[in-house]
Amino acid sequence: MPARGSGRRVLIVCHEPAFPPTSGADLRNYRNAVAAAAFGPVCLASVRPRAIAMTAPNPLIRTEALSIEGEPRTASIGWWRIREEHRISRAALARLEALILEFRPDTVVVESIGLFKLLRPLRSLAKQLILDMHNVESDLSAQMKRAEATASRPSVAASVPGIRHLERKALALVDRVWICSNEDREKLMRFGGRAMPIDVVPNGIPNVEAIPDVLPPEPSANSGFPVILFIGHLGYPPNVDAAVRLARTILPRIRQALPGAKLVLAGRGPEPAVLALRGLPDVELVEDPESVAPLLSSAHLSIIPLRAGGGTRIKILEAMAWGVPVIATPLAAEGLGLVENDEVLLSASDEGLAAMAVQLSRDAGRRARQRVRAHQAVWARFGPQAIRDAVRAGLALDNDGDDDQPSRITP
């Protein structure tokens, strides 16, 4: 490994400021930056301005914003192809070009298909250009359309063909792609047009520095039992759907058997449908929590009833790292490689999720075994060393920069 301060210089370009991390995307971007800093200096540059200028605790991680709050609006670059693409001003692009000349990165990592407009300008400036696909967006959009059809709601999902066309164009411009799981890697390999390296860089345990590495004891039942926790961006449609079903369908079924059961919903930007849940019996809504540590340390279960989603669920990793048993839909746990009925309990129906929660709450021995197994698994597979190894491979450091071992992407 190169000495700290030398070696591979990595620039990670993201839409929102990644430090301090708040959303799942921020957590992934920052965790990848921490991992890359083991091999050399890292710069985290956000298209959006920073509300508060903060310095990352790692001296090898520098943070920059490509936009300034309140500056005059300038024209945007490129054409809009899908609504998921973010607006990028010419001023932001100019600052990015200046930053590259000054920072001299060996690798530029661009966050997601939403920043597609940056790929072509960066192609001539980057020695190694990587697209970090947090999700296979075309597959995610298809899932959302199916979930909305099941719930008889108007579709807000983008056109699947439009996103897939953009993904193909992006793959033609970059040297490598990072993806969250083997399952997403297989989805991506079904379309494209050329051979290229696709690296699985998993989502790591978020806020790992604040989590005790020894399994904490199970919390007491003084404030109710079981306390069920769901954490996520509460303006994100799949999470809104999950929160509503938890409060209106799953919790009432659990309370029929366990009257002391409580549900805690926590996250930023709750939609009106989530805000309306505050009046329901034993439902607590925590908006924009400064820290989720107190919530996780007092939870007995985490139920994650997602019917749509991409990448891998960081909320599952965080719960397991804290020793909170997880009950989820198969889709929610997709890509994590968890052992069913050992490290996680799975059911595709609300009724099944509620029944599993009741059974697990009544069986202290099984709950203790699941806590231990899940805690061991998540730290081994998604802890700091695992992410560092994945990022090292994703930067092609194991090949000394030789990218001649591509995965085949076929149309």
Are 286 and 307 part of one and the same domain?
yes
Whole-prediction pTM value?
0.82
Give the model's pLDDT for residue 54: 76
- CA distance linking residue 409 with residue 193, whole number of Å: 6
pLDDT at 380: 94
Distance CA 181, CA 338 (A): 12
Whether residues 112 and 78 share a domain: the answer is yes
The span from the CA of 290 to the CA of 88, in Å, is: 29
Q: Note whether 47 and 148 are same-domain residues.
A: yes
CB 357 within 8 A of CB 301: yes
pLDDT at 116: 92
Amino acid at 228: I
Note whether 213 and 263 are same-domain residues: yes
- Both 199 and 253 in one domain: the answer is no
The label of the residue with tokens 């069986």 reads: 363
The answer to whether residues 29 and 50 belong to one domain is yes
Domain assignment present for residue 4? The answer is no
Considering the domain architecture, whether residues 96 and 184 belong to the same structural domain is answered as yes
Residue 172 lies in a domain: yes
**Same domain, yes or no, for 256 and 393?**
no
DSSP state of 159: P
- Nearest Cα neighbor of 314 from 336, 338, 284 is 336
- Paired sense of beta strands 10-14 and 107-111, if any: parallel
133 assigned to some structural domain = yes
**Which of 225, 171, 209 is CA-nearest to residue 57?**
209
Residue 357 placed within a domain: yes
Residues 19-24: contacts with CB within 8 Å, 24+ apart? 19/44, 19/54, 19/56, 19/61, 19/63, 20/54, 21/206, 21/207, 22/268, 23/233, 23/268, 24/134, 24/203, 24/206, 24/232, 24/233, 24/311, 24/314, 24/315
| pLDDT at res. 271 | 95
Q: End-to-end CA distance of the chain: give it in Å, rounded.
A: 38
In this structure, are residues 294 and 342 in contact, taking their beta carbons and an 8 Å threshold? no
Residue 351 belongs to what domain range? 209-382
For residue 409, is it within any domain?
Answer: no
Q: What is the pLDDT along the chain (411 residues), one digit of tens a residue?
A: 334 445 899 999 999 998 888 778 888 999 999 999 999 999 999 999 987 777 888 999 999 999 998 888 888 887 766 667 888 999 999 999 999 999 999 999 999 889 999 999 999 999 999 999 887 766 666 766 666 666 555 544 457 777 888 888 899 999 999 998 888 888 888 765 567 899 999 999 988 888 988 999 999 988 789 999 999 889 988 899 999 999 999 999 999 999 999 999 999 899 999 999 998 999 999 999 988 999 999 999 999 999 886 545 888 999 999 999 999 999 999 889 999 999 999 999 999 999 999 999 999 999 999 999 999 999 999 999 999 999 999 999 977 544 444 443 332
Q: Is residue 236 part of a domain?
A: yes
User: Per DSSP, what are the bridge partners of residue 265?
Assistant: 230, 285
- Both 185 and 200 in a single domain? yes
The residues near 147 (Cβ < 8 Å, ≥ 6 apart) are: 238, 241, 307, 308
| Token code pair at residue 131 | 């697209």
Q: What is the CATH number of the domain that holds 16?
A: 3.40.50.2000
> 258 and 358, same structural domain?
yes
Is the residue at 298 inside a domain?
Answer: yes
State the Cα–Cα distance between residues 390 and 381, nearest whole angstrom: 10
**Cα–Cα nearest to 142, from 290, 315, 331:** 331
Q: For tokens 């509460």, what's the residue?
A: 234
Cα–Cα dist 132/410, whole Å: 19
Contact criterion met (CB below 8 Å) for 117 and 77: yes
pLDDT at 143: 65
The domain tally of the chain equals: 2
- Kindly state whether residue 150 falls inside one of the protein's structural domains: yes
For 292, the 3-state DSSP assignment is coil
Say whether both 200 and 272 belong to one domain.
no
- Decide if 48 contacts 63 (C-beta within 8 A): no
Q: Residue 190: its pLDDT value, please?
A: 77
Q: What pLDDT score was predicted for residue 212?
A: 87
Nearest Cα to Cα of residue 298 among 274, 319, 327, 277:
319
CA distance 379 to 319: 12
231 and 180 inside one domain: no
The single residue listed with the structure tokens 């994945």 is 390
